[in-house]
Amino acid sequence: MPELPDVDVYVAALDSRISGATLEHVRLSSPFLLRTVTPPLMAAEGRRVAGVRRLGKRVVIALDEDLFLAIHLMIAGRLHWKPRGAKLAGKLALAAFDFTTGTLTLTEAGTKKRASLHVVSGESELAALGRGGIEPLDATPDEFRAALTRENRTLKRALTDPAILSGIGNAYSDEILHAARLSPTQLTRNLDDGELARLRDAVRGTLIAWRDRLTVEAGDGFPEKVTAFRPGMAVHGRYKEPCPVCGAAVQRIVYAENEANYCARCQTGGKLLADRALSRLLGKDWPRTLEELERR
Q: For 174, phi and psi rounded to 5 degrees?
A: -60, -45
116: phi then psi, degrees, rounded to nearest 5: -140, 155
Residues 6 or more apart in contact with residue 267 via CB below 8 angstroms: 177, 178, 181, 182, 183, 184
User: Which residues contact residue 204 at a Cβ distance below 8 angstroms, ignoring those fewer than 6 apart?
Assistant: 136, 137
Domains in the chain, ordered, with CATH?
Answer: 4-128 (3.20.190.10), 141-295 (1.10.8.50)
CA dist 9 and 14 (Å) reads: 9
* Residue of 93, 95, 57 lying closest to 74 (CA atoms): 57
Tens place of pLDDT per residue across the chain (296 aa): 899 999 999 999 999 999 999 999 999 998 899 999 999 999 999 999 999 999 999 999 999 999 999 999 999 999 999 999 999 988 999 999 999 999 999 999 988 889 999 999 999 999 999 989 999 999 999 999 999 999 999 999 999 999 999 999 999 999 999 999 999 999 999 999 999 999 999 999 999 999 999 999 999 999 998 988 899 999 999 999 999 999 999 999 987 677 899 999 999 999 999 865 544 433 444 445 545 444 44
Confidence (pLDDT) at 295: 42
